[in-house]
Amino acid sequence: MEREKYYITTAIAYTSGKPHIGNTYEIVLADAIARYKRLRGFDVYFQTGTDEHGEKIELKAKEKGVTPKEFVDEVATEIKRIWDIMNTSYDRFVRTTDPIHEKQVQKIFKKMYDKGDIYLGKYEGLYCTPCESFFTESQLIDGKCPDCGREVHTASEEAYFFRLSKYQDRLVEYYNTHLDFIKPEARKNEMINNFIKPGLQDLCVSRTSFDWGIPVDFDPKHVIYVWVDALTNYITNIGYDVDNPSEEFKKYWPADLHLVGKDIIRFHTIYWPCFLMSLDLPLPKQVFGHPWLLFGNDKMSKSKGNIMYADDLVNYFGVDAVRYYVLHEIPYANDGTITYETLIERINSDLANVLGNLVNRTISMANKYFAGKVTNKKVTESVDKDFINAIKNLDTQIEDKMSRLEIGAALDEIFEVFRKSNKYIDDTTPWSLAKDEENKDRLETVLYNLLEGIRVGAVFLEPFLPDTSKEILRQLNISDTSLQYNENNSYSTITPSVLFARIDKEEKLKEIENK
Ligand code: MSP
């Protein structure tokens, strides 16, 4: 039987500098979803990459005394390196400077122009250089750029425009008939009230004021302005071609999920669907605007000096600890925060105490009392029922949370089983059972249930903490990766090693300070 496809993307990151842990959050989130879908048997295609054109990058390269291409090559390499450090399982890392993308963007632009959806006009407005955006008076906040808060200036240039207004009614119709298109729900209302109700303005899609972009091939003093270039990455790299789309494209498009930050949901739920309608292509099934990761209560920024980088955090704490933190601490709809203190507290409480201890003491008991060989002796007591049910229910609980993209809540479900396992140890007190030979089969049953709980939990942990999942299964020394409580396994555990060491907060903070 052919497996159902699942196409997931992240936003493509600007190559303006090294990404901080906030930018890195998105690829980890997408990775957890992609891995989860693979675990559920989907044929997943997971795409990420970099957004490399624009005036800002041209300026940065100049400052550094290198060509824009040299500049983006270096930053894109760095971004990919960090995505790899985070153990993310993307299928393709795409760049907007890839020749295949550049060629298709030109063809797309021409097709839209031939169709009458793109026309030549004149742009006059208030322009924010760092954001490369024009704004209307009413969009400004305190007379400044609504995105970055900096000064704007009046500017005018000949430019091509895309007729967003033409597609407004069809867009609203799509929202109304595809209730899951924009998530979380609050973001949809924002789009409707702030942008659609006031009426969509045609969108400027070319620039003549800088060169670092894909030229309009039939009018080369224009470069294609960033959103037509950036958004189309989702189709060009899977083989979209105006005349002759590839088999891969036909298989994977439309995307099942575009994962993007809340700041760029507008581009993905207004511009992007309109571009696709112009190309007569189906629209993506869902756009999820995730919240942000803040440092304490602040936005992470270079000027505030509060930037945390994923590679540094991984050096201090290990990759799965960082993955756990960002996946767990950022709620579905509200921003989350990261500080060294809370990160250490989480590692100690959840990873070292709840999970690490459980695995260590269970395997140690299996080794001590049964030389590691444990099967299900089925000497049950009433306390087993709730515990085994919790293991059995994990499957549906996790699916329920994951289908709504409540990643932190899905992780909580797994840890709830680990917590219940620790409680099951306290309730059954294996060390007292071990005192009496008569209780041997009961003791083995208890350990069997614990090992099964850990096994099922570990299998479900794979999308979130892939290395830890593998390591637990290695220590359990079991090949069964089924998602359900199995009453017929036979364990032969090996000597356990510590999964997550407890961290001395003061010492660690000192170590970080002295770096
Ligand atoms: N290049 C555009 C996206 C084009 S998609 C066709 C862009 N790039 S970005 O580098 O600025 O941001 C990449 C992603 O990181 C965006 O989805 C953005 O929302 C997200 N984040 C940026 N800062 C973040 C946090 N502090 N926390 C979580 N996500 C953050 O926008």
Q: CB of 263 closer than 6 A to ligand 1?
A: yes
Classify residue 421: in a domain, yes or no: yes
Is the Cβ–Cβ distance between 324 and 25 less than 8 Å?
A: no
> Mean pLDDT over all residues of the chain?
95
Q: Whose CA is nearest to atom 22 of ligand 1?
A: 23
- Ligand 1 centroid to 247 CA: how many Å? 30
Long-range CB contacts (within 8 A, 24+) of 426-430: 427/383, 428/381, 428/383, 430/365, 430/369
Q: CB of 336 closer than 6 A to ligand 1?
A: no
- Ligand 1 centroid to 26 CA: how many Å? 8
Q: Whose CA is nearest to atom 13 of ligand 1?
A: 13
- Ligand 1 centroid to 12 CA: how many Å? 8
pTM recorded for the entire structure: 0.94
Residue 319 region by backbone torsions, left for phi larger than 0, else alpha for psi between -120 and 50, else beta? alpha
Choose among 213, 217, 211: nearest CA to 112: 217
Q: How far apart, in whole angstroms, are the C-alpha atoms of residue 210 and residue 208? A: 6
Is the Cβ–Cβ distance between 450 and 418 less than 8 Å?
A: no
Q: CB of 223 closer than 6 A to ligand 1?
A: no
Work out the pLDDT band at 76, boundaries 50, 70, 90. very high
At 429, which amino acid appears?
A: T
What is the three-class DSSP state of 509?
helix
Is the Cβ–Cβ distance between 214 and 229 less than 8 Å?
A: yes
Classify residue 68: in a domain, yes or no: no
pLDDT score recorded for residue 209: 83
Is the Cβ–Cβ distance between 200 and 168 less than 8 Å?
A: yes
Pairing of strands 336-338, 373-375: unpaired
- Ligand 1 centroid to 277 CA: how many Å? 25
Q: CB of 456 closer than 6 A to ligand 1?
A: no
Is the Cβ–Cβ distance between 51 and 261 less than 8 Å?
A: no
Classify residue 7: in a domain, yes or no: no
Q: CB of 295 closer than 6 A to ligand 1?
A: no
Q: CB of 13 closer than 6 A to ligand 1?
A: yes
Domain tally, the chain? 1
- Ligand 1 centroid to 263 CA: how many Å? 7
Residue position matching structure tokens 């670092």: 212
In this prediction, residues 24-48 reach a mean pLDDT of: 98
Classify residue 54: in a domain, yes or no: no
- Ligand 1 centroid to 251 CA: how many Å? 27
Is the Cβ–Cβ distance between 300 and 306 less than 8 Å?
A: yes
Classify residue 96: in a domain, yes or no: no
Range from 91-100, 298-307, 382-391, 469-478 carrying the lowest mean pLDDT: 298-307
The tokens describing 162, both together, are 């895309």
Classify residue 483: in a domain, yes or no: yes
Work out the pLDDT band at 146, boundaries 50, 70, 90. confident
For residue 475, give the CATH number of its domain. Answer: 1.10.730.10
Return the ligand 1 atom nearest residue 11 CA. 5
Confidence check: pLDDT of 320 > 80: yes
Which of 23, 224, 226, 258 maximizes ligand 1 atoms within 8 Å of its Cβ, making it the mutation to test the pocket? Answer: 23
Q: CB of 264 closer than 6 A to ligand 1?
A: yes
- Ligand 1 centroid to 351 CA: how many Å? 28
Higher per-residue confidence, 128 vs 375: 375
Q: Whose CA is nearest to atom 16 of ligand 1?
A: 261
Q: CB of 451 closer than 6 A to ligand 1?
A: no
322-381: pLDDT as tens digits: 999 999 998 888 899 999 999 999 999 999 999 999 999 999 999 999 999 999 999 999
Q: How far apart, in whole angstroms, are the C-alpha atoms of residue 160 and residue 269? A: 21
Our separate counts of H helices and E strands in the chain read 21, 17
Q: CB of 284 closer than 6 A to ligand 1?
A: no
In this prediction, residues 21-35 reach a mean pLDDT of: 97
Return the ligand 1 atom nearest residue 294 CA. 26
What is the share, in percent, of the chain residues with pLDDT greater than 90? 88
Q: How far apart, in whole angstroms, are the C-alpha atoms of residue 401 and residue 398? A: 5
How many of the other CB atoms lie within 10 Å of CB of 262? 17
pLDDT score recorded for residue 302: 66
188-213: pLDDT as tens digits: 999 999 999 999 999 999 999 899 99
How remote is the C-alpha of 454 from its chain's centroid? 26
Q: Whose CA is nearest to atom 19 of ligand 1?
A: 261
272-297: pLDDT as tens digits: 999 999 999 999 999 999 999 998 77
Confidence check: pLDDT of 77 > 90: yes
H/E/C letters for each residue in 83-107? HHHCCCCCCEEEECCCHHHHHHHHH
Q: CB of 287 closer than 6 A to ligand 1?
A: no
Q: How far apart, in whole angstroms, are the C-alpha atoms of residue 474 and residue 142? A: 59
The tokens describing 36, both together, are 């989860």
Q: How far apart, in whole angstroms, are the C-alpha atoms of residue 257 and residue 255? A: 6
Q: CB of 260 closer than 6 A to ligand 1?
A: yes
Which of 51, 56, 95 maximizes ligand 1 atoms within 8 Å of its Cβ, making it the mutation to test the pocket? Answer: 51
Domain span at residue 403 reads 340-492
409-444: pLDDT as tens digits: 999 999 999 999 999 999 999 999 999 999 999 999
Higher per-residue confidence, 135 vs 121: 121
Is the Cβ–Cβ distance between 127 and 153 less than 8 Å?
A: yes
Confidence check: pLDDT of 145 > 80: yes
pLDDT score recorded for residue 303: 67
- Ligand 1 centroid to 266 CA: how many Å? 13
- Ligand 1 centroid to 321 CA: how many Å? 22
Q: How far apart, in whole angstroms, are the C-alpha atoms of residue 114 and residue 181? A: 29
What is the three-class DSSP state of 46?
strand
Q: How far apart, in whole angstroms, are the C-alpha atoms of residue 79 and residue 96? A: 14
Nearest 5 degrees, angle CA 118-CA 124-CA 126? 120
Q: Where are the alpha helices (DSSP H) in 86-210?
A: 99-114, 168-177, 185-191
Classify residue 260: in a domain, yes or no: no
How many of the other CB atoms lie within 10 Å of CB of 258? 25
Classify residue 358: in a domain, yes or no: yes
What is the three-class DSSP state of 27?
helix
Residue position matching structure tokens 């020749």: 99
Q: How far apart, in whole angstroms, are the C-alpha atoms of residue 43 and residue 34? A: 10
Confidence check: pLDDT of 124 > 90: no
